[in-house]
Amino acid sequence: RRDKILVSACLLGLPVRYDGKGKALDHALMDRWREEGRLVAFCPEEAGGLPTPRPPAEIEGGKTGDDVLDGRARVLEKTGRDVTAEFIAGADLAFREARLQSCRFALLIDGSPSCGAGFLYDGFFSGTRHPGFGVTAARLSRAGIHVFTQTEIEALQRRAFYQTHKGRCNTLNLLHN
């Protein structure tokens, strides 16, 4: 069985971002994993029912995806429309897909109120960053899935696969321990 990685669909170049574009990650590991059939593309915002293109959205008030999941914060489009329910639905569907596909790892793009796994924008559409998980990153992390950003792709490689002393590439049974 090949271990799979849930990946933000836009990192594979799929045109699912709010602006109708993708943001393909150009890295040899992406090519290898794609050829090996390890990548499961998923866009939580589209899955949650939002159209593409769509207005940009941020988590209000400098809060994080965990605050949204716990009911302490909302996700608001720049227009002021509350899209919290769509973001939570998308996060739940991302987790369901990860479980169905036996993904023990996720590779998510940074800065997104859904997929952000290192930094978020502060909710004022000012371009100011702060550390934290988006709604889907928080949902997956709470479920025990190991979440990495696109800048951590080599760390993901080291965590998920390692060279044994025999020189073969094996997979760690991290979540089975």
Return residues touching ligand SF4 (CB under 6 A). 8-10, 16-17, 43-45, 109, 112, 114-115
Rounded to whole angstroms, the Cα distance separating 129 from 126 reads 9
Pick 78 or 158: Cβ nearer ligand SF4? 78
Q: How far is the CB of 89 from ligand SF4 (least distance, A)?
A: 12
Q: Shortest Cβ distance from residue 162 to ligand SF4 (Å)? A: 28
Distance of CA 153 to the CA centre of its chain: 13
**Which helix (DSSP H) or strand (DSSP E) does residue 76 occupy?**
strand 75-77
Q: How far is the CB of 36 from ligand SF4 (least distance, A)?
A: 21
**Is residue 127 left, alpha or beta, with left meaning phi > 0 and alpha meaning psi from -120 to 50?**
left
Cα–Cα distance list, 92 to 13, 48, 150 (Å)? 23, 9, 21
Least spacing, CB of residue 164 vs ligand SF4, in Å: 34
Nearer CB in complex with ligand SF4: 43/76: 43
Please identify, using beta-carbon distances, which residue of 12 and 73 lies nearer to ligand SF4: 12
- Which run of H or E residues covers position 120? strand 119-121
Q: Which residue, 107 or 160, is less far from ligand SF4 as judged by CB?
A: 107
Sign of CA dihedral 30, 64, 45, 92: positive
